Structure 1
Amino acid sequence: MSKILYFSRNPNPRLAVAVARYLQAPVSLEFASTFAPAHEAKFKALNPTQLLPILVEDGHSLWEADAIACRLSMMVGSNFWRMDAETPEMIRWISWAKANFVWACDIVHFEFGTKQRYGFGPVEHDKVKEGEALFHKAARILDDHLKNREWLMDSGISYADFRMATFLPFNDVAGLPLADYPNLSRWNDGLMRLPGWADPFEGLQAPELHPVPKR
């Protein structure tokens, strides 16, 4: 049965690859440039947005990182994506992350990272301030929750931890003050010790992201 996970090095595709490698899922990992003229028709048929990641199983495509993480967990019979009484709690953290902590990190990373990599215009410092304010608000909540906890859920690591940390591997560019939040920093350090998370692209054919000019 053919299973291919198409990815790039950007944050959400990175997240999907990290899940696949952490779970040792039986999928082929293939770098893709979905907007390249030669590939555009193929990937538009797989995902109308043409965005990565995309998981293809025997011609059927699944897109969006969270859905792919769920499928990969099912594929290997893992409770990484909770399928029990803890499912609502895990989804609570995924939902909160995307609307708060991840969103804040995304705003700042977009200005200092994405826009500068791809020439989308100068940094909008009012947007950076907005993102930083949201980051501090969310980080305080997250830091408090992680006090005396190794992972977001008491039962152990889950996909919610990976989703929450989507942009933290890119913080060398965003420069958000993780050190101001010791429990959050400790949790992030724990993630960085996990196989598949620190460098999910190890051994893969995957061109590096364009460098970001120094500030």
Structure 2
Amino acid sequence: MTQDPSRLTLYGSFTSSSSYKPMLYLALSRLPFSFRTVNLKNGVQKQPEYLAINRYGQVPTLRHNGLTIVQSNIILDYLARTTGHFAGETEQDKWTAREWLSWEADNITNVAKVRHYSRFRKVDDAVMDYFRPLALAAVTLVDKALENKDWLVGNTLTIADIGCWGRMVFMAEGGLDITTWPNVYAWSKRLKDQPGFALPYDLIPSKDKEFDPCA
């Protein structure tokens, strides 16, 4: 059966924080989409069939209306532009939200590295001694940015929140206690109260699946 090119199709992995970010966006937006699992443990991401759509051999990948979009934050930007959800209320908010996504890729990614080296791959202690302070500094900056604010940008939930939370959700797996940062902790509870919200292991399937929340 041929896939409808107008249907959003996301390729991702069960354990991937990068996959969780666009999955969470789609869940919060209540948009129908198809999920295609890429088994990282079995090396599917490096096989020719997948490399044909994602040259980097990474997840996630989004296919929509004949386009192929890769890199999680680019996918978030694309989804916000094309579906109209969580883009930001003003023009300044829209650019500030994208700015947060760029910053996240350089900084909160250290949270993902600490989690990865804690759970999936043992590394020399010196490696963790390098990345852990960077992860702590990134979360501390987010905590400060949320002081007296509900959301990172403007007065509404945006892709900035989704992109940053999508990595930070795995803090505990890296030995980082979210309650250490009271503003981040309160923000996480606001996110969890949003209709459609789900945590990664509840949201991302281990097999291909069709999501039709409005059906």
* TM bracket (short chain): 0.7 to 0.9
- Look up the SS of the partner of 1:85 in the other structure: helix
1 CA distance for matches of 2:165 and 2:147?
17
1:171-210 equivalences under 5 Å are 171-199=171-199, 202=202, 205-206=205-206
Q: Which residue of 2 aligns with 1:40?
A: 47
Cα distance in 2 for residues equivalent to 1:75 and 1:165: 22
Shift of 1:204: 6.4
Q: For residues 127 and 177 of structure 1, do their structure 2 counterparts lie closer, same or farther at Cα, with a shift above 3 Å needed?
A: farther
Q: 2:97 matched to 1:90?
A: yes
Q: 1:25, 1:75 within 8 Å by CA — same for their partners in 2? A: no
Structure 1 counterpart of 2:44, one-letter code: A
How far is the alpha carbon of 1:113 from its aligned partner? Answer: 2.1
Which structure exhibits the higher relative contact order, with contacts defined as CA atoms closer than 8 Å and separated by 6 or more residues? 2
Normalised by the length of structure 2, the TM-score is 0.80
Matches within 5 A, 1:62-211: 62-78=69-85, 80-82=86-88, 84-100=91-107, 102-115=108-121, 122-199=122-199, 202=202, 205-206=205-206
Cα separation, 2, equivalents of 1:202 and 1:179: 22
| Percentage identity across paired residues of the two chains | 20
- AA in 1 matched with 2:24: A
Which residue identity is paired with 2:91?
Answer: D
Assess if the C-alpha contact under 8 Å between 1:192 and 1:198 holds in 2. Answer: yes
Aligned residues: 198
Q: Determine which of 29, 35, 38 is the counterpart of 2:35.
A: 29
SS at match of 2:170: helix
For the Cα contact (< 8 Å) 1:73–1:81, is it kept in 2?
A: yes
- Unpaired segments ≥5 residues, structure 2: 208-215
Structure 1 gap ranges (5+): 116-121, 208-215
Distance 1:57 1:142, change over 3 A: closer
Q: Which amino acid aligns with 1:87?
A: K
1:70 Cα deviation after fit: 2.2
**Could you state the TM-score of these two structures normalised by the residue count of structure 1?**
0.80
Q: Given that residues 25 and 72 in structure 1 are in contact (C-alpha distance below 8 angstroms), is that contact kept between their aligned partners in structure 2? A: no
SS in 1 for 2:166: coil
Give the secondary structure class of the aligned counterpart of 1:167: helix
Inter-partner Cα distance in structure 2 for 1:32 and 1:135: 27
Partner of 1:6: 11
What amino acid is aligned across from residue 177 of structure 1 in structure 2?
A: D
Moved more, 171-180 or 188-197: 188-197
Given that 1:104 and 1:134 are in contact with CA atoms closer than 8 Å, whether structure 2 keeps it comes out as: yes
| Runs (4+) off by over 4 Å | 200-205
